[in-house]
Amino acid sequence: MARLLSNAILKGISRASQPPRIVPASFYHIELRFSTTIPNDPDSHADFQPNNKAVNESGSCSGINIKELVDKDVKEHPVVIYMKGYPDLPQCGFSSLAVRVLKQYNVPLTARNILEYPDLRTGVKAYRSSLASSVLFVNAIISSLRMLKYLSECNWPTFPQIFIKGEFIGGSDIIMNMHQTGELKEKLQDIAGKEESE
């Protein structure tokens, strides 16, 4: 028993004298963000609930309604991406992939960081839903397969969400698939041409 105890003490002393082991971790993050899945948790005091000074209680962003903001973005810019982060500093692998694919075509890219504006997430989904329903109404004769495509777009659950020429395209997987088949090149061809001629 005494021998086991002395061996344990000696092992402890020898480990203490060794240099600390390097543990794989990332300490190079400039900024840490903490988020809750429930932005307006009723159990949280109002002083501790998240607030965004750019978005007020009525759901507007500096006096502009979120739906109007999304509508304006989609109508004024040929390529709009609602993503986590910015094109130069994406905060999500899927957003990074979508930006890299779109940058290959040298098109003007307008992006909004959905992490800055929590209401923008739901605003983009609501806009897309109203866009899809109006498209369904106007194109009532379209084949049922195409209608199912529009209906499935109404409930697109993830970000990034990409709009090209006012049409909701999808996320990074759809953009990547379109890039691989050449469909994205055709869709962006006239946009890239306009940018080069100016």
- DSSP codes of every residue in 61-76: ETTEEHHHHHHHHHHH
Model confidence at 29, pLDDT cuts 50, 70, 90, reads very low
The whole-angstrom separation of Cα 32 and Cα 17 is 34
How far apart are alpha carbons 198 and 193 in whole angstroms? 9
Where do the domains of the chain lie? 66-197
pLDDT at position 117 is 75
Q: Any residues with CB less than 8 A from the CB of 118 and at least 6 apart, and which?
A: 39, 50, 52, 55
The pLDDT of residue 13 is above 70: no
**pLDDT score at 124:** 75
> What per-residue confidence (pLDDT) applies to 138?
40
pLDDT value, residue 78? 93
Positive or negative torsion for Cα 62, 78, 103, 151: positive
Asked if the 66-197 domain carries CATH number 3.40.30.10, the reply is: yes
Which tokens go with 6?
């002395």
Contact of 79 with 162, CB cutoff 8 Å:
yes
* Higher pLDDT among residues 36 and 11, named by residue: 11
Q: Tell me the per-residue pLDDT of 97-139, one tens digit each, with 9 for 90 and over.
A: 999 999 999 999 999 888 887 777 777 766 666 655 444 444 4
pTM score, whole prediction: 0.56
**CA torsion 86→161→182→105, rounded to 10°?**
-20
Q: Give 138-154 pLDDT, tens digit per residue.
A: 443 333 344 334 434 44
Residue 96 and residue 160 in contact, taking contact as beta carbons nearer than 8 Å: no
Between residues 47 and 186, the one the model is more confident about: 186
60: three-class secondary structure by DSSP: strand
CA distance 50 to 81: 25
Q: How far apart are CA 160 and CA 128, in angstroms?
A: 13
Report the run of H or E that residue 3 belongs to, with start and end: helix 2-17
Provide mean pLDDT across the span 179-198: 77
pLDDT at 27 over 50: no
Residue 177 has a pLDDT of 93
Q: Which residue has the higher pLDDT, 178 or 46?
A: 178
Q: Which range has the top average pLDDT, 16-30, 45-59, 116-130, 157-171?
A: 157-171
Chain mean pLDDT for the chain = 69
- The region that residue 117 occupies, defined by phi over 0 for left and psi between -120 and 50 for alpha, beta otherwise, is beta
Residue 124 contacts residue 155 (beta carbons within 8 Å): no
